[in-house]
Amino acid sequence: MSTGDRRIDQGDKTRVALVRAARKLFRRGYEAVGTPEIAEAAGVTRGALYHHFKDKRALFAAVVEEVARDHVVEIQRIAMTESDPVDAVIAGCRAFLASARDAETRQIYLLDAPAALGWEAWREIDGRHGLGSLRDGLDACVAAGVMDAADVTAAAHLILGALNEAAFVLVKAKPGSALAASLDRSMVRMVRALVATDGVAART
C-alpha cells in the first residue's frame, strides 16, 4: 500500500470514528453536544474533526444521513418478511411509525434534524432514503399486477408525506395514547386504497 493509500485509509477511519462518536452523543440532543466532546470521544483532535467536517452542522448531517440509511435497511428487512407485496408495503410503513418511539430516531432524525439542518435539507435526506425504499415496495405491487405503474410516484409521495406527519405527531403523543392504533388503521386504509388499480378492488 502506498503512502497516499494509507492516508486515505486513515482518513476514512477517522471520519467513521467521528460519525460513530457523534451519533452516540447526539442522542442527548444536538444543542447539548459540542465539537470538543465529539473529538475526544472519537479519539482525534479538533483539527482532525474540522479537516473532515466544516462544522458541527456538517458532522450532524453525516450522522442524520447514516441514521436514515440504517433506518431504511431495517424497514426493508421487516417488509421482506411478507410475501404479499401490499402487505410488505404496510409492514414497512408500520416499521416506520414504530421508529418514532425509538429514542435515537426520535431525537436525531425527527426532533433535531429538521431544526438543525433546515426543512429542505432534511427533506432531501429523507427523499434519498425513504422515498426510494417506498418506491421499490410500490414497484413490487406493480409487478404483481395490483397497482398501476403510472400511480407509483404520486402514491410514494403521498404515503411518505403522511408517514412523516404521523411520526411527528407520535413523537409528541403521550405514552399509551390510542392515537398510535388510530394512525395505524388509517395508514392501512390509505395504502390499500392507493395501491388498488381501477381494475382491482381495494382490499379491506
pLDDT of residue 5: 45
pLDDT of residue 4: 47
pLDDT of residue 197: 60
Q: Rounded to two decimals, what is the model's pTM?
A: 0.84
Hey, where are the domains in the chain?
1-53, 56-195
| The CATH number fitting domain 1-53, selected from 3.40.50.1370, 3.40.50.720, 1.10.10.60, 4.10.520.10 | 1.10.10.60
pLDDT of residue 200: 47
pLDDT of residue 99: 85
* Contact (Cβ atoms closer than 8 angstroms) between residue 146 and residue 85: yes
pLDDT in tens, 104-159: 999 999 999 999 999 999 999 998 898 989 999 999 999 999 999 999 999 999 99
Per-residue pLDDT tens, the chain, 204 aa: give them: 444 445 446 668 999 999 999 999 999 999 999 999 999 999 999 999 999 999 999 999 999 999 999 999 999 999 999 999 999 999 999 999 988 888 899 999 999 999 999 999 999 999 889 898 999 999 999 999 999 999 999 999 999 999 999 998 888 877 667 888 899 999 999 999 998 764 444 443
Q: Do domains 1-53 and 56-195 have the same CATH topology?
A: no
- What is the C-alpha separation between 191 and 89, in angstroms, rounded? 8
- What is the C-alpha separation between 98 and 180, in angstroms, rounded? 9
Fold of 56-195: Tetracycline Repressor; domain 2 (1.10.357)
Instruction: Name the residue with cell 404483481.
Output: 144
